[in-house]
Every structure is written in C-alpha cells, then in structure tokens.
Structure 1
Amino acid sequence: ETTGCPYPHPPVMPQDGTPFQPSPEFAKWRTEAPATRLAAENGTIGWFITGYELARQVLQDTRFSMADRRTPLGPSPYEMGRPIDEEKGRALVEGNVLGLDPPQHTKVRRAAVGRFSVRAVRGQRQAIGEYIEGRLGDLLAAGPTADLFEDFALPVSVFAHCRVLGIPDPKVAEFTAIFATEDLKFGDMVHFAAEVLELKKDDLGDDTVSDLLRSELTGSERLGIATVLMGSGRDAVAYMIGTIMVSLLSDPAQLDLLRREPERIPTVAANRDATRFPDPDTFDVTREATGHLAFGNGIHACIGQQLARVVIGEAITQLLQRVPKLRLVEAQQQEPMAFAGDLPTYAPGTVRVAWDGD
C-alpha cells in the first residue's frame, strides 16, 4: 500500500527547446504516458498531453471545459492599458469564445464564422496575393537584406486580418500598434474594438465586423467576440511564415523540392507523435499531414484556419518564386528561447535574410 501524493514533484515546462527542436523532455514524457502531470509557475497542477490520440479526444470531448484559464503557466502577460468599465469587462466574458462552453460558445462562434469559410476565403485570395506581391516588391527594392518577420510576414498578416475583419483603413495603423505587438493590453484592445463597432454600424460591408453587427448577438457579445478576433490568429500567421522560411532556408534539399513542386506548399505541417506521424522530428515537406492538430480540433478548432492556409501558402509561394537566391543570415528561433507568454508558444524573433544578386 502506498501513501501520500502519487505525484510529489510534478515537472515544470522545460525551457531548453526551439520551434524546430522541442525540448527532449517532451519525447521522454511521450514514451512514458500520453499525458504528464505538470506544475505551472503559479503552483497550479495540470496535465500536459503529448499523445496524438489523447489530444484529439480531449479536443473533441465536450466534457472538457474551456472556462476559466486554458493553460495557466503563470500570471497573464497582458496589462490592462486603458481602464475598462463593467460593460466592457462583461464583454470579455460573454463573447470570449476562447473561454466559453456550449451553448454560449455555439451562439457566439456561429455569428463570427461566415467570412472564414473555404469559399469566403477563396474570394480573398486575389487581394491577398496582390498585397503580398506589392509588399515583396518594396522589400526587394529596399534590400538586399531584411528582417523577414518584421518587414514582410508581419505586414502581410496585418493586411489579411484587417481585410477579413473589416477594419477601416484609417484605423489600420492603430490596429497594428495595439494588436501587432508582444505588449498586448486588454483595455486598449477592447476600447479599439468598441470604436470599430461604432464606426461600422452605419457603414456595413462584406466583412466580419459587419456580420457581427447584423447578428442577434447582444452588444456585450459582439464586443467580446470582436476583441477576441482582432487579437487572435494574426500573430500566428506571421510567426508561421517566418518559421517555415527558416526551416526551408536551413534545408536546401527540402527548399529545392518545394521550388520544383510548389503544389506541396499548402501541406507543410508537423506534429511530434511518432505513432501518428513517422519520424516526426524530421522536417519533411512530402509528409502526409492530414489530421494534424496545429489548428485544434472539435468545436474549438481555429475559426481562421482557412484564411491562415491561404495567407501562409501565398506568402511562401511568392517568396520562393521571386527570390531564388534568398538565404538565411540569422534566426533567433534556432537557439533555445523562453516561451512568449502564459501559453507554450514562442516569440518569432529576428529572421534576417539576404538575397545578393537577385
């Protein structure tokens, strides 16, 4: 008979990995069990899932709740910024799909998804492609070196995000200052969302904010989901453009393959469970990645995943086609780095590239 706590000393999140080479601790945990007890910085004890099948089941099982905090690794990195009143505080509860369960989650999400369908996103492809073409032209004209994240991936992601959401052109610079930064402030975010909703109410268009204003959501629900949509996904798109290019520019064979067969670009993805994805730690653009969980799964799957695929695919395609001599100079992601916030994700870091002779 055993006595006492069966998990006297749960491990903490390791900090010795990179986006390309995760900490070896994750692989060790995966060999021991599909889930590992984990201690957060604030003392909270939870489970860290490393097994593919268990992760998929948890994401699909509605008995698991999104309420409260998702992965409490420590204090929130978000400062308040501008003060918010009771109404705006309520909006961040009633309309925050990241922390809602059905039926409230179903109601709010349904009002927001229309512009993110496969068909709707295809309608945005030309405009997104034209913007990327212009941005790349400016980059090449200013060269022969650049930070691929700050000078290309970030503005591309901002353009696509603002276009689909319906951020008025005069507000794009303010949107960038508030949302395209690591120093996010909840108060500034929700005030900006409220201002955009007010501006758009008499000028409805074919965009997400207009759809929210046409919907049967309450004012608080509209404000909450608008704030979440403005603050979610754009950073991940910019991050993935930079990270994919670091991977490709560090692997000439894979880079050459994609240049010869650009139709493979939409499927560049990976997960790390070898029982689902053989040889998962090898970067392989030919891998069959159907079923990967990068965009989540179940009712909480990423609303903007179709848009992300279009933006990332178009950005990578044009980079490979128009800058054949692009090379990597330096990437902070290649060295171990701490996680960027209270979720186990990395900051993009500098992605310095050059293209002498192009």
Structure 2
Amino acid sequence: MSNANYRVEPVILSLDRAPAFPFDPAPSLTTLRAEQPIARLAAPEGAPGVWMITGYHLVRQILADPRFSSRYEIHYHPLAGGHLPPAPVGDLTGMDAPQHTRFRKLLAGKFTVRRMNLLTERVTEITRERLDVMERQGPPADLVEVFTQPVPALMICELLGVPYEDRDRFQSSTRALSDGGTAEAQYAAFAELGTYLRELALAKRAKPTDDLLSDLATGGDLTDEELGGVAAFLLGAGLDTTANMLALGTFALLRNPAQLAALRGDPGLAVGAVEELLRYLSVAATGMRGVLEDVELGGRQLKAGDTVIIAINAANRDPTRFPDPDVLDLRRPATGHLAFGHGVHQCLGQQLARIEMRVAFPALLIRFPALRLAVPAEELSLRTDPTQVYGVHSLPVTWDRG
C-alpha cells in the first residue's frame, strides 16, 4: 500500500468492543485495518511515535524482525503515559537476545511436542475429574470456577511439581487472579503465588522430584532468583490464557449452536476446532514492540525509539489472510494464525494449551449435551481491561439432570 492511501494525521483510537459482538475486535480496529493497517496514534507532545498495527502480514513481519524489541522498558505505553518498567526476572516475554536465547534454550527441551503429548492422559484424567465435580454439584454452575480455571491450574501443578497438599491453596490463589475482584486483591494473590513458587523452587534444589521445576533447579545454571522468576512466568503464561480460551470458547460455541453440534457430533474435529477458536477469539489481543533503529514498514517511516502496538485479534480477522474472518467455522483451515505469536517469542507452552483444549471442549459438550447459559448473554461480565487477557470473569451455565 502506498503512502497516498494513508491519512497523515494521528489517530485517536478506542479499544472498546461492541457489546452486541463480544467475540469481535473493537470496531475501531476493524476500520483501521481496512483503511490503514499501520497508523500513527495520537500521543502527548514530546512523546515518541506510537503505531497501531492491525494487518496480518505486517504483524507477522514485526514479530519475526529483531529490529523490534520485546524489552518492556523501551516500550512507550499510551495508557500509562510513559515507558514501562523492565520485565521481572525470568519473564521471557520482556527479553531480547542474548538473555531471551539463554532462558528459551533451557525451557525449549521441556516443551517438545512429544513430551506434551505424553501429558494427554493426565489432561484427560483432570478433565474427567472436574466434570465429575461439576456433575455432582449439579446445575447451575460457574464454569470458570468449576472447570475452565481448575483444568489448566492443575496441569500447571503437575508441570511444576506442586505437592498435592498445597494444591487447594494454589488453586484458591490462582482463582483470585481472574475472578473480577479488586486490583489490590489480584496483586496480593499474585504476590502470594510468587512467594510460594520461589520457596518451592528452592525446595526442589534440595530435594528434586520428577517435574519441570526440578529439572530446571538441578540441570540448568539459573540463580535462585531466576528459578523463582521462571516458575512465576510459567504460571502466568500457562494459566490465564488457557483458562480464558476455555471459558470464552465455550461461550462462543454456545452462541453458535451449529458449530457446537458439529464438535459434539465429531470429537475428532477438535484439532482443527481449537485452531479456529484460537484465531477467532485471540484472547491475548495485543502486544508491544520497541523500534530499535529507523525502519520502513508498510510504506511508513518508523524512528528508533518509537513503539508499535500489534493488534493480534485484528490481524487474525484480516480478510486478506482468512476469508470470511468474522465467521466461526470449526472446519476452516486456520493454521498460520498468530494467537501464539510468531518468531522467536512464539509461545513455548502452545502444545500443552492445545492438548488441554482438544480434550476439554469435546469432553464438556459430550458430558452435558444440554449445556446452556444460565443468564442472558448480555449479562455476562467480560474482562474488558485492555491490559488483561480477554475473557469472562464468570460463565454461569445450566443443564438438564440425567
């Protein structure tokens, strides 16, 4: 696209979603993608340039280009009105090479497709156990509380080697991170989990067990601080996104009964269905990169020190990449979506997340064939804070007793 097709004035952008279309990106992003898939945003005088990127091919290009940095401290955040603090120790999403390369090499061998596939049996057991709990309690139920949050939380417990006697406490704290409580309560829960994980990491050094955290404690060159930081990173990366994908994905299926029926009738469809739900929902909706040197992108000149905001949800709905992108079609070949990112920062735990969803969605729909919302859809409490993973705070559902 040539420069002649762009407006030159900065854009004032709203990220508010249309209430009637909770699964779609904000209308402003859809409009921007059609008119100028790279657009400069309005910013205070003296601030560095901030660019919104909504086109699929541009987002993919940025994610693969080392001239765009992941380091938080060089990102100018418009909502914060300044630069962000550096990433916490162990947070791979806020690092560049060579620090990122060092941490990723230590973790990559722990998240191979083969190793994750070996966890399928345990995912299946945990899913069945949670559905048993749901059935015993009877309708109605908050699906987030009883199912979509506990499944990935318990799998994180398995990975990190959280002792069985600590798992109720662990789940209680992780639930507080996503239940719509006050910011203070969420910060307190996160701090409690961080303290617990640091203590657990040190215990693994002294007495390793058969789990990922013990592997890292005994087989790498991580300091105590780094080990605890990596544990906290794995918790955040492996819990919130998957829990919200399961909840929001169920909501989307309940609102698309033909697609729900297709998946219930053919559980083998789950592999492709998960990819389409990842594309369609894109719960990790946005990301940021700092521009390290002057670069031409999509016909625009970006300067060193600028920040780009990448709209993953808009990119995954780009009609130049996915025909009829606003339609949920579980039989669509949705490979190539950017829900797990792209390039060197592509999500390490994506195979585990896929396994959890491939098991959980069909199991839920088959166990409860009359599953439905227990409240009108417009009454659901959505996670609308643009700094959070998108999803629902709760998902009240009901069903017919057998």
How high is the TM-score relative to the length of structure 1?
0.86
What is the distance in 2 between the residues matched to 1:255 and 1:295? 23
- Retained in 2: the 8 A contact 1:95–1:221? yes
1:65 aligned to 69, 89, 93, which one? 69
- Retained in 1: the 8 A contact 2:39–2:52? yes
1:118 aligned to 103, 110, 113, which one? 113
Please report how far the alpha carbon of residue 294 of structure 1 lies from its aligned counterpart in structure 2 after TM superposition: 0.5
Distance 1:28 1:229, change over 3 A: same
| Residue 229 of structure 2: aligned partner | 224
Q: How does 1:120-139 map to 2 (within 5 A)?
A: 120-139=115-134
> CA RMSD, aligned part only?
2.8
Please report how far the alpha carbon of residue 325 of structure 1 lies from its aligned counterpart in structure 2 after TM superposition: 1.6
* Count of residues in Structure 1 that have an aligned counterpart in Structure 2: 340
Distance 1:166 1:30, change over 3 A: same
Residue by residue, what CA displacement relative to the aligned partner does 1:176-226 show, whole Å, maximum 9, x if unpaired?
A: 343331413464343222111122112223322112112122333222222
| Residue 178 of structure 1: aligned partner | 173
Q: How does 1:188-227 map to 2 (within 5 A)?
A: 188-213=192-217, 214-227=219-232
What is the distance in 2 between the residues matched to 1:211 and 1:40? 46
- 5+ long unaligned stretches in structure 2: 1-6, 179-185, 280-315
Asked whether 1:29 is paired with 2:32, we answer yes
Residue by residue, what CA displacement relative to the aligned partner does 1:6-60 show, whole Å, maximum 9, x if unpaired?
A: 535532433545541322211110111222233589x875222211111111111
Distance 1:38 1:173, change over 3 A: farther
What is the distance in 1 between the residues matched to 2:258 and 2:214? 46
Please report how far the alpha carbon of residue 120 of structure 1 lies from its aligned counterpart in structure 2 after TM superposition: 0.9
Q: Secondary structure at the match of 1:184?
A: helix
- 5+ long unaligned stretches in structure 1: 77-88
Moved more, 277-286 or 229-238: 229-238
Residue by residue, what CA displacement relative to the aligned partner does 1:85-138 show, whole Å, maximum 9, x if unpaired?
A: xxxx99x64422111000110101221233322111111111110111111012
What is the distance in 1 between the residues matched to 2:329 and 2:144? 22
What is the distance in 1 between the residues matched to 2:187 and 2:391? 13
Q: Secondary structure at the match of 1:221?
A: helix
- Retained in 1: the 8 A contact 2:10–2:39? no
Q: Secondary structure at the match of 2:41?
A: strand
- Retained in 1: the 8 A contact 2:13–2:28? no
| Residue 314 of structure 1: aligned partner | 359
Distance 1:179 1:357, change over 3 A: closer
Please report how far the alpha carbon of residue 142 of structure 1 lies from its aligned counterpart in structure 2 after TM superposition: 1.2
- Retained in 2: the 8 A contact 1:248–1:254? yes
What is the distance in 2 between the residues matched to 1:142 and 1:40? 51
Distance 1:19 1:234, change over 3 A: farther
What is the distance in 1 between the residues matched to 2:354 and 2:258? 23
Distance 1:327 1:14, change over 3 A: closer
Please report how far the alpha carbon of residue 67 of structure 1 lies from its aligned counterpart in structure 2 after TM superposition: 0.7
Moved more, 123-132 or 13-22: 13-22
What is the distance in 1 between the residues matched to 2:40 and 2:383? 20
| Large movers: runs of 4+ above 6 Å | 333-336
Distance 1:39 1:14, change over 3 A: farther
2:341 partner letter: G
Please report how far the alpha carbon of residue 337 of structure 1 lies from its aligned counterpart in structure 2 after TM superposition: 5.0
2:12 partner letter: P
Q: How does 1:30-45 map to 2 (within 5 A)?
A: 30-38=33-41
| Residue 23 of structure 2: aligned partner | 20
What is the distance in 1 between the residues matched to 2:76 and 2:93? 12
- Retained in 1: the 8 A contact 2:33–2:55? yes
Moved more, 168-177 or 113-122: 168-177
What is the distance in 2 between the residues matched to 1:337 and 1:128? 27
Percent sequence identity is 36
1:156 partner letter: V
Q: How does 1:279-290 map to 2 (within 5 A)?
A: 279-290=324-335
What is the distance in 2 between the residues matched to 1:350 and 1:124? 27
Moved more, 270-279 or 179-188: 179-188
| Residue 56 of structure 2: aligned partner | 52
What is the distance in 2 between the residues matched to 1:158 and 1:55? 30
Please report how far the alpha carbon of residue 328 of structure 1 lies from its aligned counterpart in structure 2 after TM superposition: 2.1
- Retained in 2: the 8 A contact 1:332–1:349? no
1:206 partner letter: D
Q: Secondary structure at the match of 1:313?
A: helix
Distance 1:118 1:354, change over 3 A: same
| Residue 10 of structure 1: aligned partner | 12
Asked whether 1:236 is paired with 2:241, we answer yes
How high is the TM-score relative to the length of structure 2?
0.77
Q: Secondary structure at the match of 1:353?
A: strand
- Retained in 2: the 8 A contact 1:108–1:221? no
2:246 partner letter: I
What is the distance in 2 between the residues matched to 1:15 and 1:34? 18
